[in-house]
Each structure stands twice: as C-alpha cells, then as structure tokens.
C-alpha cells in the first residue's frame, strides 16, 4: 500500500491538470462530493530526497479530486530493518489531503506517483526513491489485504507519528487512539527534525 515521482520524466499519469479542471474539482471538494480527509506519509532515501518529496506533493495536488491542505516539517530517519550505514538516511514528511477519491483510487494514484519516480520493489527493506503510503482515510478501518486501513504499522513509526502530530496535535489514528499518545509510546531514536529544510504547499 505504498506509493513514487522523479522530476523531469514524462509520465501521463502525473501531467498537470488544467486550471479549469482544478477549479471544478475545488468546487466539488467543497460542495457536491463530500470530501474525505486522508493522511499520506512520504519517504525517500535515494537521489535528491527533498526535491522528490516536493515533486510527490505537487503530483498529488495535480490529481483531480485531491487537494493538499497541509505539509509537515521534514524529518530525517535512519532506515529500518537493515545494517546501520548500509543505506542513506530517509527524508520523511506527512501531508493532509481532502479528497473525493475512494481509498482504492487514491492508492492507485499513490502507486502511479511512485512509479513516475522510478520506485523499485526488489527487496522488502531496500532503498527507494519514494514511498507514498496512505496512513489513514477518514475513520475507515479495513483489513483488506490490498489496502489495510489505517496503515498497519503507522502506530509504531515515529517518522509517521511525529510529523503528523506537528500538523495536527489532536489527531487520532482510527482504531489506535490519539497520535500524541502513540508517539509517546515509541522510540524516537534515529528520527530527527530537519529545521533547515522545508516543503511547500503547491501554489
């Protein structure tokens, strides 16, 4: 249920949406289609990590039916499940969306963004250009193996919980409780805020 975009490569799935369509989507988001709130986690540890995260944010914003509402600070994280020093560190961030897409379509879009950034899935804990994970979608709880909601490991990952808490201190992970409490219960080793770096809301 993860999802990738590397700037400068042509991919029809990540082309900009005309302004007229964006305006229509905005109107739909606020009135007709009852938009849902979604939480997306981004991570990259290959290439220009900051540029990749920003490109993924911009690609999500260019999706009809998706509006990026908030972007967290950048965190730097040591890779999980591998020998220390065997991979570059990750840059991680969380974005809050309003979307009229159902979860399955949002996942398809996440995968398309990953693929545009040349995400390779050769090994489970391998380095990657981009992860785009759906952490939570409204209050949906589902054990569908194609898309488990909320993300089955989000509650134990400081690199997800910390930036999410930065954006919304009152946030709750469906079925797990307050993000603040979950964050207090996990180790923060190897997860640090990069105050010198910044991601931006799409213009």
Active-site choice (128, 143, 168, 194): 128
**Using an 8 Å Cβ cutoff, are 145 and 172 in contact?**
no
67 part of the active site = no
Q: Residue 43: what are its φ and ψ, rounded to 5°?
A: -150, 145
- What does residue 30 show for φ and ψ, rounded to 5 degrees? -95, -15
Angle between helices 103-116 and 49-61 (to 10 degrees): 140
131 is catalytic: yes
Active site includes 119? yes
Q: Which residue is catalytic, options 29, 58, 62, 133?
A: 133
How many of the other CB atoms lie within 10 Å of CB of 55?
Answer: 22
Q: Which residue out of 119, 181, 189, 194 is catalytically annotated?
A: 119
Beta bridge partners of 99: 36, 66
Active site amino acids: 119, 128, 131, 133
């Amino acid at each position: 249920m993860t999802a990738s975009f590397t700037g400068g490569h042509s991919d029809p799935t990540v082309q900009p949406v005309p302004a007229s369509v964006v305006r229509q989507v905005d109107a739909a988001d606020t009135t007709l289609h009852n938009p849902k709130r979604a939480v997306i986690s981004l991570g990259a540890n290959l290439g220009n990590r900051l540029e990749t995260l920003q490109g993924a944010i911009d690609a999500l914003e260019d999706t009809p039916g998706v509006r990026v509402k908030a972007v967290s600070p950048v965190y730097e994280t040591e890779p999980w499940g591998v020998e220390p020093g065997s991979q570059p560190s990750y840059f991680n961030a969380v974005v809050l969306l309003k979307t009229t897409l159902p979860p399955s379509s949002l996942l398809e879009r996440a995968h398309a963004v990953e693929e545009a950034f040349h995400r390779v899935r050769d090994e489970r804990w391998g380095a990657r250009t981009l992860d785009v994970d759906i952490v939570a979608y409204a209050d949906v709880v589902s054990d569908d193996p194609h898309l488990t909601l909320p993300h089955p490991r989000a509650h134990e990952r400081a690199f997800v919980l910390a930036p999410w808490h930065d954006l919304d201190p009152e946030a709750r992970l469906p079925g797990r409780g307050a993000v603040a409490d979950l964050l207090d219960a996990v180790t923060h080793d190897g997860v640090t805020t990069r105050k010198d770096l910044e991601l931006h809301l799409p213009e």
